[in-house]
Amino acid sequence: MKIAVVGPGALGTLLAGFLRAKTKEDVWLVDKSPERARRIREEGIRIEGMSSISVSINTSANPKEIAPCDLVIICVKSYSTEDVCKDIKDLVNDNTSILTLQNGIGNVQVLNDHFGADRVIAGVTNHGATLLGPGHVRHAGRGDTIIGMSNGKILGPMRDAANLLTKCGFETKISKDIDSVIWSKLVINVGINALTGITRLKNGMLIQYNGTREILRSAVQEAVKIVKRKRIKLVYDDPIQKVESVCKATAANISSMLQDVLNSKRTEIDYINGAIIRQGKALGISTPVNEVLTNLVKTIESSYEEAEEMN
């Protein structure tokens, strides 16, 4: 099986490294930067932390030289999904399945629009990773990976993808209601990601302070109002308890949004807390806490240069 992992960020690097080390498949890592692709191709992937892996890997910034793949795994930031759909057309033919393991909501619809709902597999993973440099990542947490199709079908390629991910160390389950799974992950991210980006605290510290704990709860409560209005069934019974338990379980983790802030990069705030704002406006539900969190993160993004000048 030929597999392309698109996006050499924390998750993409972690997954590509696991696939390369633990399977005999033809694995490629696709990068938009030719220089970074060259470096990873020459130096390989190095994983530390909960796992210790060092492997060489085929890496390219030119999808044409890879040719069509059996499975394309999308690990880019949500704001890049539309552009990636155009960039990866040479990786895709009539037999290609596309799997997204991205944060936020909206990615599946974009992929469906480009490639068709019968070939797009949606998913979430609870593995945590911190990018330390090109091809260098710290495996910071383990967890289930859940995949499914928005139309509820369970097709052979999806079973193949689940078996492949499980084989490489990403234990994977199949869900007939993947939308509920994606929303369940979104609610958790709504409580954690923006707050870590603003406060620069690791996940576990958010529930150690009364202030951040109360803001976390309020942001989650707003998201839950939308979930109930949309009649989405979450995969857990108590959302606030779940988010706080995730904070404890991933106490030492640096969230993806905090990683972006620390590296002065654009965040996925529009696809997490920002998505709650948009959904709230459409449904007539007030979301003031998520609006404040979103505006603060956007201000941080806009002031990276000024912050650097003060250091």
- How many residues are there in the chain? 311
Give the chain's radius of gyration (CA, Å): 19
Distance separating the N- and C-terminal Cα atoms of the chain: 49
Q: In Å, what is the CA distance from 22 to each residue of 98, 103, 126? A: 21, 25, 19
Residue 174, beta-bridge partner list: 147
Active-site choice (32, 64, 77, 185): 185
Residue 236 three-state SS: coil
Among left, alpha and beta (phi > 0; psi -120 to 50; other), residue 220 is alpha
| Other Cβ atoms closer than 10 A to 153 | 11
Q: Alpha helices, DSSP H only, in 152-238?
A: 156-167, 178-199, 210-229
**Structure-block tokens of residue 4:** 């392309």
Q: Which letter does DSSP use for residue 65 in this model?
A: G
User: Is 185 among the residues known to form the active site?
Assistant: yes
- Quick count: other Cβ atoms within 10 Å of Cβ 227? 19
Query: What would the DSSP string read from start to end of 50-82?
Result: S--EEE--EEES-GGGT---SEEEE-S-GGGHH
**Structure tokens that stand for 7 in this block:** 């996006």
Cα atoms in the 13 Å half-sphere on the side-chain side of 154: 10
Active site residues: 185
